[in-house]
Structure 1
Amino acid sequence: MGWFRSLSWPSSDSRSIALIRAAVGLIFFTQGILKFLDPHMGVMRFTRIGFPLPEFTAHFTGAFEIVCGLLVLVGLLTRLASIPLLIVILTAIATTKIPELSHPGQGFWFMVSDARTDFAMTMCLLFLLSVGGGAWSLDALVWKEEASR
């Protein structure tokens, strides 16, 4: 049992960062795929919101969500990958949640309830932007390897 105690376990901070990366990465990755597979989540949604060139915009956004979501998931270029995702989520809030304030029968509390996932993703992305990928990430492996050269 002595070998078990001698193992170097990453701190709970590392596990926490990995769990946040998993949530953010998987959510954006799957939402990106849906923009290609389901017209209601992609082109039709972007058309309804009023984006110009909705087919291009939906697929462009979906591609960023897939690539950056995977990067966040594995913890490679975590801070850099968080920036486009932050732009995506803030644009989603501005174009789909804020307008709910002026819809009859909806208002502030409806918008707050509807925006809870977007708010959580925004806070998680800001967290990852500030702390990076953590010890359980490819960033840690790459930069540790770079530092030893």
Structure 2
Amino acid sequence: MIRRILATEETGSVLFIRLMVGGIYLSEGIQKFVYPADLGGGHFHSIGFPLPYFSAGLDAVLQIVCAILILAGLFTRLAVVPLLIITIFSLVAIQMPILISHGLWAMLHAARTDWCMLLGTCYLLLKGGGRWSFDRKWFS
């Protein structure tokens, strides 16, 4: 069963999606530690998150670890699951208030990265790590 989850298709172009998704999540995770007041615990506190500094740290660690796995193409399908949850939560918790207060176009503008990341992680969930991945080398 686990071998089936980790198996991947031969598509080489998956590498580009892995680089985009992994690179952005890695950058965002690191920035939560580098700019905690604006992007980490301070931001989580400003949106009313319970235990904001703990939650931001956990979020950052998940983003960094999962991004490294995605960049390596190792356990790709498993690594995208926490990122899907984070992204969906971001769309609901952060973008929905923008929709309510400023309208559809303002929300779509603010959520453009979240939508790209949601679609990119869904693609990796369906396809796996691709031809140039540790998943392909070890599990297919």
Larger Rg: 1
| 2:4 alignment partner in structure 1 | none
Residue 99 of structure 1 deviates from its aligned partner by 0.9
Alpha-carbon distance, 1:93 to partner: 0.7
- Between the two structures, name the one with larger relative contact order (CA 8 Å, sep ≥ 6): 2
Q: Say which SS state the counterpart of residue 43 (structure 2) adopts.
A: helix
Deviations 1:50-75 (CA, angstroms, capped at 9, x unpaired): 11000100000000000001101110
Query: Could you state the TM-score of these two structures normalised by the residue count of structure 2?
Result: 0.90
Gaps of 5+ in 2: 1-9
> Partner of 1:24 in structure 2?
21
Match of 1:129 in 2: 125
- What is the CA RMSD across the aligned residues, in angstroms? 1.0
Letter in 2 for 1:102: I
Matched, 1:65 2:63: yes
Shift of 1:19: 0.6
**How far, CA to CA, are the matches of 1:41 and 1:142 in structure 2?**
37
User: Aligned to 2:131, what secondary structure does the other structure show?
Assistant: coil
Summarize deviations over 1:89-133 as a string: whole Å, max 9, x none: 111111110111221xx2111101111111011001000000100
Q: Matched residue pairs, number? A: 130
Counterpart Cα distance in 2 of 1:107 and 1:74:
39
Specify the code of the residue in structure 1 equivalent to 2:35.
Answer: D
Q: What is the one-letter code of the residue matched to 1:99?
A: P
- Counterparts of 1:6-21 in structure 2, within 5 Å, are 13-14=11-12, 16-21=13-18
Identity percentage over the alignment? Answer: 42
Q: TM-score, normalised by structure 1?
A: 0.84
**What is the Cα deviation at residue 143 of structure 1?**
1.3
Partners of 1:48 and 1:125 lie apart in 2 by 27
The SS at the match of 2:129 is coil
List structure 1 runs of 4+ shifted beyond 3 angstroms: none
TM-superposed deviation, 1:142: 1.3
